[in-house]
Amino acid sequence: MKNRHCYLTLAVIFAFAAITTLTAIGASGAAAVTKQPDSPMVAKCKSDLAKRLKLQAREIKLIESQPATWSDTALGMPEPGKMYAQVITPGSRVTLEARSTRYLYTTSTKAFRYGGPVSIWAYSMFYTRPVSNEPNLNGDLYQCSLLGTNCVRLVSGVSDFYPQSKGAVIFTRRTSRSGFDLLYVKADQAAKPKKLYSAFGFGAAAFNSKQDKWAAIVRPMMGAAWTIVIARIGEDKTKSQTLPLPDGVRPGQIAWSGEKLMTLAKSDERWSCYETSPSASTPKWKAVGAYTFPGLPEYMLNKSETLEITEVKVDGKPAVEVARVWFTGSRNVKARIDGVALRGYDFLAGRYAFAWGDKNSASVAYTVDIATGEVIPASIGVGSDIKPFAYPPRSTPLAKKKP
């Protein structure tokens, strides 16, 4: 019993010592992870984001602040038409988080720039600029971020263009008063554009998913009927396949769905959709639901709400409204952009309404976060024919991914 009493006493002593040690370690660890105050520049970024999102700065969390060296005072986000001091500028790349969304800022020691939600950098937009004294009225095709920054001239001699997946874009080039070429180029390559076809006129065009085959709405010569031409890339023109448009249908959109070809167009002032199998011995068009046409944005947000992007009148002037519409008809307006005549819109990543149009005789585009109501403007100026592109800009202020 004496030995047992001794063992119990020693066990109590060791247990007490262990608890004391763990308590000390815990206190030491807590002290080691004590939150450091934000740097003055991070505090400014938080304050700016709080104003944009109508939050308190304390609701915004710093994810990381990485040292960065910018090539000029644009801090990684140059805007077209602006001049920047061409000096190496040390600074940082700041990532903040608010309401489960991450936001980008770039800074120097004296200034910062807002880069919007990090996720919008997976997208970009195209627009064309006119070229003075261009005999065929072609323009230059530019690609830039959804903020209107980081612009590059992708290709010259563009009449119209059709963004594709995987960074490809098909475009037409007017070659004379009675002829056009159909070409394509990859956004991440500086290679010379490759020619696909020549004709009197072209409508919409599209690649298949493998991007080894294309289809386009073609008018072969003046006075001829519109047709659809299908061919493999690199094939001689004589090996192409020609199909008539469905009866009573005017030229509209065109897309591939697997090995089937689809067209969406107006027939008797109503939208009609048709599909066919070009590889069939006798291809025939079959009417299908318009909602099956590939690439159409899904504006149904959930079982009860849809997204609505419309032009309205405010005091007799145009404005763009982005609203979540309840199945009962009630509207929750997330954003209203005054003074903009709407020219087109799209819905990106199931979260961002993208609208473009004219304001004060200039082309403008806006990205609206339908979750927060934040409006991110992009001034294009003399550009036109704005279209979103599901591909990143050529250059971005984001950190490069490690190979």
pLDDT at 26: 45
Is 13 a member of any domain? no
- The pLDDT, as a whole number, for residue 8 is 37
Residue where a domain stops, chosen among 93, 120, 147: 120
Among 103, 120, 137, give the residue marking a domain's end.
120
CA angle 156, 383, 368 (to 5 degrees): 125
Apex CA 164: angle with CA 81 and CA 219, to 5°?
Answer: 100
28's CB contacts (< 8 A; 6+ apart) are none
Q: And the tokens for 159?
A: 């009449």
Measured between alpha carbons, how far is 366 from 352 in angstroms, rounded to an integer?
10
| Domain membership flag for residue 184 | no
CA distances from 189 to 106, 186, 198 (A): 27, 5, 23
- Which has the closest alpha carbon to 307: 381, 368, 362? 368
Residues in the chain: 403
**Domain count within the chain:** 2
Residue 396 covered by a domain = no
Domain boundary among 120, 138, 171: 120
In which element (H, E) is residue 83 found?
none
Give me the phi and psi of 297, to 5 degrees please. -60, 145
pLDDT value for 271: 85
Statement: residue 22 has pLDDT above 90: no
User: Which amino acid is located at 326 in the chain?
Assistant: W
Domain hosting residue 102, numbered range: 40-120
Q: Establish if 371 belongs to a structural domain.
A: yes
Residue 64 lies in a domain: yes
Nearest alpha carbon to residue 71 among 94, 91, 41:
91
> Is residue 248 situated within a structural domain?
no
Does residue 11 belong to any structural domain of this protein?
Answer: no
| Phi (first) and psi of residue 313, to 5 degrees | -110, 130
- Write the pLDDT tens digit of every residue in 28-87: 444 444 567 889 999 999 999 999 999 999 999 999 999 999 999 999 999 998 999 999
What does the pLDDT average to over 313-333?
A: 95
Per-residue pLDDT tens digits for 377-391: 998 877 889 999 999
- The answer to whether residue 313 is domain-embedded is yes
Looking up tokens 């067209």 gives 263
SS3 160: strand
- pTM comes to 0.87
